[in-house]
Amino acid sequence: MSASKYIPEPERKICGTDAFINASADDLRILIAAKELGGATAEELARAAGCSVPRAEGAAEYWTEHSVMSRSDAEESESVSPAPLPIKRKVTDEFYRPDAKELAEKIDGLGLSSLIDECEKICGKTFNQNELSIIVGMRNELSLGEGYILTLIAFCFNTLEKKTLRYAEKVAFSLTDSGIDTLDSLNDYIIRREKMLSQEGKLRRLFGFGDRALTKKESACFDKWINDFSYGEDIIRLAYDLTADQTGKASVGYADKILSNWNAEGCRTVADCEAKILENKNSPEKERPARRKSSGKAAAGPVSGSFDTDDFFKKALERSYGKK
């Protein structure tokens, strides 16, 4: 049997970083527990920090994504060594910073004066030498077009409200590493991102995430539900209710399986989803596996409509629409 173990990075400095500033109280308690234990499973961290296992897993994943912890999926046997973690490519996410003379030559040689003027208008300031180096780097080192650079900076400053070119520089590296290196692909990304931002707060409150940063898995699921499935809060809330009733916790992964099933089955509205639940609930073929497993643990993986009693479905609908 295997279990993930979260191990703190001993030399990692956290205070003052975005990870520390954006961490929730539970995130910080889990980090302290991991430091004291020197590495532990999510269950051990939950016991030490006095929180639920899902919350401990979410916090541990948060610190793992910020390289404050690492995760080892080791066999529970002293004779077996943990499998090595994949090596992440180190990205410096910083352009070359030339001296003043070389910088002036590059600006002149690349004909960037008008681009810099437009960027300064967006940012509302006159750039210093480091900021000028960032514009030159985007154009020269990443070969990004002028329209791309202007759009990216406007998105960072106005939509994300990140008012530094250093942030835009980091985003430029991240996007181009992901293959988003043309103006069309950037515009598509921005449309998805803005749609995600408009719904993210509601889903955070629904799943009880507070102000902590989303893990990559959580963010990917939210993006898929909102952009790929085009599901609104009403359908997602129905999936959340079913998840909470079946698992007793707010599991994004479990809700994702329910929503993916509904999407695959062509459910586009709340009425479609309710009809599919009733159809599956009343199907003898789909009820038998649930009855066979009723004396033991719940069946692995969600089946969008396999429930043991009418009361289960009734309670889920009451939470979404109120008692009739």
| pLDDT digit string, tens, across residues 109-119 | 999 999 999 99
Longest CA–CA span in the chain (Å) reads 79
What are the pLDDT digits (tens) for 234-281? 999 999 998 888 888 888 999 999 999 999 999 999 999 999 888 877
Q: Which residues contact 84 (CB under 8 A, 6 or more apart)?
A: none
pLDDT tens-digit map of 116-141 = 999 999 999 999 999 999 999 999 99
- CATH code 1.10.10 for 2-75: yes
Amino acid letter for position 270: V
Query: pLDDT at position 125, please?
Result: 93
CA gap 132, 145 in Å, rounded? 16
Find out whether 103 and 129 touch, Cβ atoms under 8 Å: yes
Mention every residue, 6+ apart, whose C-beta is less than 8 A from residue 127: 116, 119, 120, 135, 165
Q: What does DSSP say about strands 40-41 and 69-75: parallel, antiparallel, or unpaired?
A: unpaired
Cα–Cα distance for residue pair 153/285, rounded to 1 Å: 55
Residue-range domain boundaries for the chain: 2-75, 100-181, 214-321
Give the global pTM. Answer: 0.54
Radius of gyration of the chain (CA): 24
Q: Model confidence at 296, in pLDDT bands (50, 70, 90)?
A: very low
The H or E element spanning position 273 is: helix 270-281
Per residue in 185-205, pLDDT tens?
999 999 999 988 888 888 988
- Which candidate, 267, 284, 286, 263, places its Cα nearest to that of 275? 267
Of the two residues 105 and 7, the one the predictor is more confident about is: 105
Question: So what's the pLDDT on residue 154?
Answer: 96
The pair of structure tokens assigned to 27 is 């995130």
